[in-house]
Amino acid sequence: MSEEFEKNDRGDLFSKPVRAGKRTYFFDVKSTRGNDYYLTITESKKRFGNDGKFTYEKHKIFLYKEDFEKFIEGLNEAIQHIKENAPVTDSIDSGETTSSTDINFEDLGN
């Protein structure tokens, strides 16, 4: 089953879940009663309560098509700033490191 799927009930037109470590992001295309499309972006995190049961903590933003270009522009600028300025650290969630090591490929055979 594909992670992308179309929905046709109550204004839900398309959904794309993206699993990223402990979080899942949902990109959902919806329509208004006037058939105008918009995007909701939901961050969902699994949390354990004091009773040992888990719940999902969700944060949602609504993005309307007249704001798409400015949103993308701002998001790209913020991501570029992080890529250029963030300190190099190990990634805890994925178990992968974001740091790099200079390797001389001629030395690998020695």
Helices (H), the chain: 68-85
More confident residue, 7 or 11: 11
High-pLDDT (> 70) share of the chain, %: 72
User: Over the stretch 18-63, which tens digit does the pLDDT of each residue have?
Assistant: 999 989 999 999 999 899 999 999 999 988 888 888 899 999 999 9
User: For residue 68, what are its two tokens?
Assistant: 């798409």
Average the pLDDT over 94-98 and give the result: 42
What whole-number distance in Å separates Cα of residue 10 and Cα of residue 5? 15
What whole-number distance in Å separates Cα of residue 7 and Cα of residue 64? 19
What whole-number distance in Å separates Cα of residue 73 and Cα of residue 41? 17
What whole-number distance in Å separates Cα of residue 81 and Cα of residue 1? 37
More confident residue, 65 or 98: 65
Look at residue 88 in the predicted model and tell me its pLDDT: 86
Domain ranges for the chain: 5-87
The pTM is what? 0.65
The DSSP element (H or E) to which 12 belongs, if any, is strand 12-20
> What are residue 107's phi and psi, to 5 degrees?
-75, -15
Average the pLDDT over 94-105 and give the result: 42
SS3 category, 66: helix
SS3 category, 15: strand
Look at residue 52 in the predicted model and tell me its pLDDT: 86
Look at residue 99 in the predicted model and tell me its pLDDT: 40
Question: Is CATH 3.10.450.700 the classification given to domain 5-87?
Answer: yes
SS3 category, 105: helix
Confidence label for 15 from pLDDT (cuts 50, 70 and 90): very high
